[in-house]
Amino acid sequence: MKIGKSRVRNINPYLRLIPANADFFIGLTDLQNHHERLIEIGFTNELNVNEQVLPTSIGPISEYNSEGKYNIRKDLEKETYYQTREWTWKDWSGYEHSKIVYIARERYPREFVPPPSEEFKIAIKDGSKLLISKQLNKADNADEIRHIINLYLELFGECDVLTAEMAPPLSPNVIRLNWRILPPGEYPWEVVQNEVTDIIQRQPEGNRPVANYRIETISDHTPNFVAVGQGGFNDYLVFGFPNKNIYVLESIRTGNATYVFDRNWQELSQLSKKEILDNDLYEERIIHREGWEENINNLLN
């Protein structure tokens, strides 16, 4: 069954042809008319079979899918949080100076809701390529199914409910496109800066100096490799220090955190964002607040 709405609330009418406890997929069968959008959300121009991505955020549903969201708890007492900003001033001689400052603010506590991190995969059925979700079951959580349908609708304006018979055979092969690993070498700030300019420009203007400051701080320790996030990972960078067995996952967004891993990067690169952030795979989580630079320098020195 094809769904062509902007959003659905009640999923039952669209699943009426699916037997109870039966498996099915949410998919997109017309890839030709959505070729540009598929590239925009992270696929290659060739749309190779088995390519799989966490879609880039283009609206509230895809942003929640890749970044999660916060529920504001107005039933709790307000708490102190810190905004990171660049402060610029001139001295008595007219020379300009700047530094990063942390400004204390009050707000109601925010309860983080982890991202669903649903990924899409290119598959093939009877010689035709199509885009499919993970395998679902009619007995699954209705909110999960609704989210996947609405994610398709936000990205493409349509989707198809595919029975197990209509869907392609499941393949264990996956070509994850969530990271672009730069050639081996040394990556001081002067080199990294050229790679991250476009990423930082996507941030609000006031946040850009802060993002530059954090990336420069890590780059000053000259990582041996850098991986640039793509698709729904496009706000992240990984800095590798294999001689120290340290891999730093840094978010461009302010108010987030830096994650530190000590495990093989090749293994980490094949995990979903949800698996990386939700399963205690990291050794340290360094929050973006006062003391961040000192903690990073102590870690990498």
pLDDT tens, position by position, 26-47: 999 999 999 999 999 999 999 9
Q: Is 211 exposed, middle or buried (0-12, 13-18, 19+ CB in 10 A)?
A: buried
Segment 127-175, tens digit of pLDDT = 899 999 999 999 888 999 999 999 999 999 999 999 887 777 766 677 7
Query: Which pLDDT does position 24 carry in this prediction?
Result: 93
Structural domain that includes position 144 = 2-67+117-176
Residue type, 202: R
Question: 264 to each of 62, 178, 261, how far by Cα in Å?
Answer: 29, 16, 8
Whole-number pLDDT of residue 75: 94
Same-domain status, 202 and 258: yes
Domain count, the chain: 3
In this structure, the answer to whether residues 242 and 280 fall within a common structural domain is yes
Looking at the structure, tell me whether residues 152 and 45 fall in a common domain: yes
This prediction has a pTM of 0.81
State the sign of the Cα–Cα–Cα–Cα dihedral 92, 96, 99, 105.
positive
Evaluate whether 141 touches 74 at the Cβ level (below 8 Å).
Answer: no
Which of the listed residues 125, 150, 176 is the one where a domain comes to its end?
176
For residue 67, which amino acid is it? E
Q: Do 221 and 291 fall into the same domain?
A: yes
**What pLDDT was estimated at residue 171?**
67
Q: Are residues 168 and 37 in the same domain?
A: yes
Strands 175-176 and 51-53: parallel
Give mean pLDDT in consecutive 10-residue pieces for the chain, a chain of 301 residues: 89 89 92 94 92 93 91 92 80 77 88 89 91 92 95 96 80 76 79 81 82 90 88 86 89 80 75 71 83 91 88
Is-contact 292 254, C-beta < 8 A? no
- Same domain, residue pair 61 and 205: no
